Amino acid sequence: MSILTFRNVSLTYPARTGKGGAGEKRVLDGINLQVASDELVAIIGRSGSGKTSLLNLAAGFLTPTAGTITVDGTPVTGPGADRAVVFQDDALYPWLDARDNIAFPLKLKGVPLAERRAKAEVLLARVGLADAGDRHIWELSGGMRQRVGIARALAAEPRFLLLDEPLGALDALTRTRMQDFLLRIKAESGAGAVLITHSIEEALLLGTRVVVLSPNPGRLTAEIEAGFNAEILNGASVADVKASPIFKRMHAGLTGLIHAGEEELAA
């Protein structure tokens, strides 16, 4: 069991010179968070709350101004294959076909061509794209691209999947199907996951826990145990879960929590 830990993490951007650039901007303030590999922690917040910065810190793209981020006790000092990122804008390589995109992390490790292509085939089948290996990236739909992106991240055999609004750009119908898919593939992989989303519904459906991030500066202001993902994994349909009274109640509660910050700001 791996654990990703944020301990008193703050992030401050230096003062910007020029118009309106008075003083430094504190983006995240005193974040404490633990994610275990059997969890999917959904982080939700409005735009500008620093959710993407939080994920970029975990990925190692950014360095905290204060505090530490560790994976199983080892400090994060930069990006690494133990924390693979799935991007909203898929970030697949158009010069590689779907199979070689998935095999990319294996290539980086020096796995021989035949072996990494064989492994990519297995992953293609796992994400339901067994016949799409030869396809160009631009021939794939948005949902298929995200499946390839997730398979590519899994090929790195990460301890944690960092999901940066991976379903944000999909249409509503595809999105519902992909939510179910994402849950299953995450559970099979045995990796922990951090999901950034601005959809309360998605956070509740997918997250073992839902964490609310409030802006100016970004602070974790609420945390709830969701547990709907277990129901879905046990066979309940996403639609049924969404229709249940308890889901609606929690949805309303979370909406209130996120909204509360807004009113404070206005007052």
Partner 1 sequence: MTLLSELDALAGETNDTAPARAARPLPIAVISALTIGVIIGLWALASAYALVSPVFLPSPRQVVIALYNLVVKGFVDATLAEHVGASLYRIFGALIASILIGIPAGLAIGTSRVGRGILDPIVEFLRPLPPLAYLPLIIIWVGIGEASKITVIALSMLPSIILSTSAGVRAVSKDHVNAARSLGASKAQVLREVVLPSAVPSILTGIRIALGAGWTTLVAAELVAATSGIGFMIQSAAQFLVTDIVIAGIIVIALIAIVLEYVARLIERRLVPWASHR
Of 84 and 211, CB closest to partner 1: 84
> Which is nearer to partner 1, 29 or 82 (by Cβ)?
82
Among 45, 64, 105, 166, binds partner 1 (CB under 8 A): 105
Q: Which of 31, 54, 84, 127 binds partner 1 (CB under 8 A)?
A: 84
User: Pattern 145-174, binding to partner 1, x per CB under 8 A?
Assistant: -------xx-xx-----x------------
Q: Which of 12, 26, 34, 87 binds partner 1 (CB under 8 A)?
A: 87
115 contributes a contact to partner 1 by CB under 8 A:
no
Q: Does 93 bind partner 1 (CB under 8 A)?
A: yes
Dig out the tokens for 54 from the structure: 């939080």
- Based on its alpha-carbon atoms, the radius of gyration of the chain, rounded to whole angstroms, reads 19
The binder of partner 1 chosen from 12, 46, 104, 135 (CB under 8 A): 104
Report the relative pairing of strands 192-197 and 3-13 from DSSP bridges: unpaired
Residues near 179 by beta carbon (within 8 Å), at least 6 away in sequence? 167, 202, 205, 206, 238
Q: How many residues does the structure list for the chain? A: 267
Give the residue with the Cβ less far from partner 1, 76 or 205: 76
Return the structure tokens found at 184. Answer: 């299953």
Judged by CB under 8 A, the stretch of 88-96, 193-201, 211-219, 236-244 that binds partner 1 is 88-96
Assess whether the previous peptide bond of 75 is cis (omega < 30° from 0): no
User: By CB under 8 A, what part of segment 10-69 binds partner 1?
Assistant: 59-61
Which position among 30, 79, 168, 217 is part of the footprint of partner 1 (CB under 8 A)?
79
Q: How far is the CB of 164 from partner 1 (least distance, A)?
A: 9
Query: Position 45: which residue type?
Result: G
- Closest of 87, 139, 92, 142 to residue 120, by C-alpha: 92
Q: Which of 3, 26, 70, 80 is the binder for partner 1 (CB under 8 A)?
A: 80
**113 is a site residue for partner 1 (CB under 8 A):** no
89 touches partner 1 (CB under 8 A): yes
The residue ranges that bind partner 1 (CB under 8 A) are 59-61, 78-81, 83-85, 87, 89, 91, 93-95, 104-105, 107-109, 136-138, 152-153, 155-156, 162
